[in-house]
Amino acid sequence: MAELFAGVGGFRLGLEGHPKSEKNTGFKVVFSNQWEPPSSTQKNPPKQWASMIYELRFGKDGHVNEDIENIRNDVPNHDLLVGGFPCQDYSVARTISGELGIEGEKGKLWTSIRHIIENNQPKMILLENVPRLLTSPSKKKGLNFAKIGADLLNLGYDFEWRVINAGDYGMPQRRRRVFIIAYHSKITPMKNFNQMRTANAVSWLTNTGPFATNFPIHSSSNEEIVCADWPGIDIIDEDKFTNKQSPFKKAGLCFCDEGGKMLSFNPQPIKEPVSPLKKQLLDSDDERYNQDYLVTNRLDYWDYVKGQRKEFRIRRKDQSWAENININAGTHGNLWSLYRYYMEDITRWKNLTSSHKVIFEEHLGTNHGVYRYSEGKIGRDDVNRPSRTIVTAEIGKSPARSRHLFEYQGVIRRLQPIECERLNQFPDDWTNVEGITDSRRGFLMGNALVIGVIERLRGSIKKLIIQ
């Protein structure tokens, strides 16, 4: 097995198992790669915390901490290629106006994956990404996934995909991710699926395939299966992709025969008993419990940023324009001054005066000027439900909409690093190494996957490779 974009080893834990376990799962990692590149504001690469943790837990044998672009010809032969290739250019954490998709710096890493697949021809491939991969970019929905699928077909791989919410299947986090399994033509179970409406194809997708077997769905979903050609293999007509609807639903399969045939549908999961957030939380008498995570100040601020919001915004590039808009608003002589007054403490938007509202509305613009900003309510987290998705900015003291805030054992507090690990089903203190900050541990878990999803797929993947 080769693990790309390994992070702190989620795929490896799910397939090979814990390094101290005596159980032989049948999987062995022969190559792993993890590299954190510098951000747009950094001249040098950051400290390689994820790679350091990976080596500390699994050892250095076969692990490479270099840019994948530089080592993509050095990957040894393997039966299974796995990886959660970076998703920032597809993620809902990025605004639609800022999405870059497969053309973004991290989206371009698909090129390296494709190169490794072409060189090594693994029997199977297991990839993970955010669901938005199926619908990006916003102006040509589905184009990015169409290109990835076309690459797989051209390399001789049939493949299937499925959006899985871990919380639907008894796991403690409502983390939705799209998983892709690809099969080399030598072992593909789809070689007899050349007639799209045959019972074999539908049954594989809904009953007998690895996704359907390990993540059951209601049979009523079968009635909505759409049959179509893959939207281009050698040449993809980008004009066929619009901002209306992606051709790819939440689950599907595609195989090389007849130029790339596709089944696609939106499955309805057979939900399993809930694993609530509270079962993953440290009790107050636990020696690892940290009082610093209690929230006693600015609860009004927390509740505001996590509540329904209707505000106005002015882009930074329009600051000079706003400074030259003279207004009559007490101590505020120009529009920028008034705007900064509200942004210095955003809870002030709750008490936006009618006269100030009129001023902002008078200067609404499309490409520049004032624009409306609104968000729906998230509120405090219910500890009786699986947690929301952990994000990379999960741990920090300042109030933030995406961070968890909940009441447990009579106090209101935030998630601790060990609880983030538990919500992804990592061993306790997996990321707790000397010198690391709590915020960095939260960042690593925000980039990780829910290990239980991979564990469930392990048996099916092993069986297919052996057969």
Per-residue pLDDT tens digits for 304-333: 999 999 999 999 999 999 999 999 999 999
Would you state the pLDDT for residue 258?
Answer: 67
CB 322 within 8 A of CB 333: no
Percent of the chain with pLDDT over 90: 80
Given a cut of 60, whether residue 88 has pLDDT beyond it is: no
CA angle (206, 207, 211) in 5-degree steps: 70
The two three-digit tokens of residue 274, written as one number: 């809930």
Which pLDDT score, from 0 to 100, does residue 194 have? 56
Average pLDDT over residues 239-259: 89
* Model confidence at 93: pLDDT above 50: no
Tens digits of per-residue pLDDT, 173-207?
A: 999 999 999 999 888 887 766 554 566 788 899 99
Residue 369: CB atoms within 10 A of its CB come to 17
**More confidently predicted of 261 and 154:** 154
Query: What confidence score (pLDDT) does residue 87 get?
Result: 54
pLDDT per position as a tens digit, 199-236 = 678 889 999 999 999 999 998 766 688 888 898 888 88
What pLDDT sits at residue 190? 75
Residue type, 170: G
Q: Inter-axis angle of helices 438-446 and 49-58, to 10 degrees?
A: 80
Give the per-residue pLDDT at 103. Answer: 54
Amino acid at 211: F
Over the chain, what is the mean pLDDT?
91
List the one residue out of 89, 150, 163, 152 whose CA is nearest residue 122.
152
| Residue 259 pLDDT > 60 | yes
- As given in the structure block, the two tokens for residue 351 are 């008490």
Residues 6+ apart with CB under 8 A from 395: 403, 414, 415, 416, 417, 420, 438, 439, 441, 442, 443
Nearest to 79 by CA among 146, 3, 22: 3
What confidence tier does 104 reach under pLDDT thresholds 50, 70, 90? very low
Closest by Cα among 114, 148, 150, 117 to 134: 148
Q: What is the mean pLDDT of residues 460-464?
A: 95
Q: What is the CATH number of domain 273-308+376-435?
A: 3.90.120
Average pLDDT over residues 452-467: 95
Task: Please determine, for residue 18, whether its predicted confidence score (pLDDT) is greater than 80.
Answer: yes
CA 234 to CA 387: how far, in whole Å? 43
Using pLDDT thresholds of 50, 70 and 90, give the confidence band for residue 91.
very low
Report residue 358 as tokens: 């009129």
Residues classed as catalytic: 87
Q: Are 271 and 401 in contact (CB under 8 A)?
A: no
399-418 average pLDDT score:
97
Q: Report the predicted TM-score, pTM, of the whole model to 2 decimal places.
A: 0.91
Q: Is residue 263's pLDDT more than 80?
A: yes
Of the candidates 384, 409, 396, which has an alpha carbon nearest to the alpha carbon of residue 302?
A: 396
Q: What is the CATH number of domain 2-272+449-466?
A: 3.40.50.150
Instruction: Report the percentage of the chain scoring pLDDT > 70.
Output: 93
Stretch 161-175: mean pLDDT: 98
289 pLDDT above the threshold of 90? yes
Question: For residue 163, what are the β-bridge partners?
Answer: 178
Residue 193's pLDDT is 66
